[in-house]
Structure 1
Amino acid sequence: MVFGIRYLSNKEKMAMIERGIHPGVSKSAPKPYLSLKFGLLMVGLGIGLLVALITVRNVFGQGITRAEEGQAVAIYFGFLGIFGGLGLITSFIIEKKAIDNPPLK
């Protein structure tokens, strides 16, 4: 298996050299909105935790039984997913607007 991987890697590098591409150059494109995406994801997760905390405290009150504890955990994970997803959707909308309407220089 190691031999096969090394063989294919070498073959790929040789093909790049034949085409005039330097094999040491990174293949990945720049990602200018990566920090925006992660920032909005973290904000969404933080808001989700806050809303989950408020919801659990208002629904279950101070005395939580063992059965209600499992439901509270489900609420936390549910809100984390919902608000994290909303943060990523917001990031997508902002990126799409920026790509569709580039700033004038």
Structure 2
Amino acid sequence: MASEILIPFIVFSCIFGIVYLYLTTRNKERMALIEKGADATLFNSGKKFGVGEVVLNFAFLAIGIGVGVLMGALLEQGGMDSDVSYPACIFIFAGLGLVTSFFINRKLSKSE
């Protein structure tokens, strides 16, 4: 009974702790750089993703998961154990979808 409440509490508190630690450490680093007189453009060095790129990533991921479920079902009908076929195909095709999305995003960013 207690594990049903305790496990989600521990998981969410660990996630919260990691995010909190990351954000506070980043803030302290930035404040230290500002105090030493560093240029503020250091904080904007990373590439920002647009909404279109994020949607494209999720779309290819969803397509990959859908194809993985379909291939897992086909392999199960062919005689493979469902405990192996479904997760293997889902992870393989989701990964292929993300790799495809990466190359398409790179191609689109070069053309701009």
Q: Place the TM-score, normalised by the shorter chain, in its bin.
A: 0.5 to 0.7
Q: Which runs of 4+ in 1 moved over 6 A?
A: 5-8
CA RMSD of aligned residues (A): 3.1
Structure 1 counterpart of 2:93, one-letter code = F
Larger CA deviation: 82-91 vs 92-101: 92-101
Deviations 1:61-97 (A, max 9, x none): xxxxxxx7xx321111110111111101210121121
- Cα distance between partner residues in 1 of 2:61 and 2:103: 13
Aligned to 1:98: 108
Aligned to 1:14: 32
Aligned to 1:79: 89
Instruction: Quote the sequence identity (%).
Output: 22
Aligned length: 86
Cα distance 1:83–1:31, how it changes in 2: closer, same or farther (>3 A)?
A: same
1:38 to partner: Cα distance: 1.7
Aligned to 1:30: 48
Compare CA radii of gyration and give the structure with the larger one: 1
* Relative contact order higher in (CA < 8 Å, ≥ 6 apart): 1
- Cα distance between partner residues in 2 of 1:19 and 1:90: 39
Decide which structure has greater helix share.
2
Q: TM-score, normalised by structure 1?
A: 0.62
**Structure 1: runs of 5 or more not aligned:** 61-67
Cα distance 1:8–1:43, how it changes in 2: closer, same or farther (>3 A)?
A: closer
**Structure 2: runs of 5 or more not aligned:** 1-20
